[in-house]
């Protein structure tokens, strides 16, 4: 679960996260939801203003096509791990690219809202769906710390100022002070 680094900063919260994740229903996730494996193809700009133009929408009515690559058994458990991993990478990018922060937060909120809706449609109770979302944000914070402080850290997050901001954002996510 890559919790070791975060546990050195937030031992109680990480212990609670591990305990809570075991109470969720299990599922098989068929995609590795790391952002590098998600392709978004924007529709033709010429048709962008005409929302009714079939060339500007996919078969489900969306404006853009989204494709997940690297399909696999990414995790056998509640989907918290993959969803949190996805959110963490977006937030890590946001720390270094502040000009995109509002758009990224809007995108995360839209994704989480849609995901929550699909969990309810899949017969999860509202309580379980809420818990999955909360734990996804907790795990996003855990992964952010892993990517900034562990032996497997990303070099682009080694600058002291950036690491400090990552730690603050992660702390808010892990301790449930924020969920965007």
| Angstrom distance (rounded) from CA 157 to CA 19 | 29
Give the tokens for residue 146.
């892993």
* Span of 3-7, 41-45, 134-138, 169-173 with lowest mean pLDDT: 41-45
Q: H-type helices in the chain, by residue range?
A: 4-9, 11-21, 80-96, 101-121, 126-149, 160-174
Average pLDDT, the chain: 78
Radius of gyration of the chain (CA): 17
* Average pLDDT for 32-52: 58
* Highest mean pLDDT (candidates 78-87, 121-130, 167-176): 167-176
3-state secondary structure of 170: helix
Give the tokens for residue 129.
């769906």
| Angstrom distance (rounded) from CA 102 to CA 105 | 5
Q: Minimal CA–CA distance to 128: which of 117, 137, 120, 140?
A: 120
With a cut of 80, say whether residue 39 has pLDDT above it.
Answer: no
38 forms beta bridges with 68
28 forms beta bridges with 76
pTM score: 0.68
């Amino acid at each position: 679960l890559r919790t070791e680094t975060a546990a050195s900063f937030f031992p109680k919260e990480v212990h609670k996260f591990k305990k809570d994740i075991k109470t969720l229903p299990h599922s098989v996730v068929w995609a590795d939801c790391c952002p590098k494996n998600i392709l978004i193809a924007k529709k033709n700009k010429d048709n962008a203003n005409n929302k009714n133009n079939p060339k500007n929408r996919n078969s489900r009515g969306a404006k853009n096509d989204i494709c997940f690559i690297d399909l696999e058994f990414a995790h056998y458990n509640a989907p918290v791990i993959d969803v949190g991993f996805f959110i963490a990478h977006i937030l890590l990018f946001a720390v270094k690219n502040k000009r995109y922060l509002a758009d990224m937060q809007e995108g995360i909120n839209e994704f989480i809202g849609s995901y929550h809706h699909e969990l309810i449609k899949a017969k999860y109770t509202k309580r379980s769906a809420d818990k999955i979302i909360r734990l996804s944000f907790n795990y996003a914070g855990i992964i952010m710390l892993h990517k900034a402080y562990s032996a497997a850290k990303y070099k682009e997050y080694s600058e002291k100022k950036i690491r400090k901001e990552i730690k603050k954002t992660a702390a808010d996510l892990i301790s449930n002070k924020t969920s965007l």
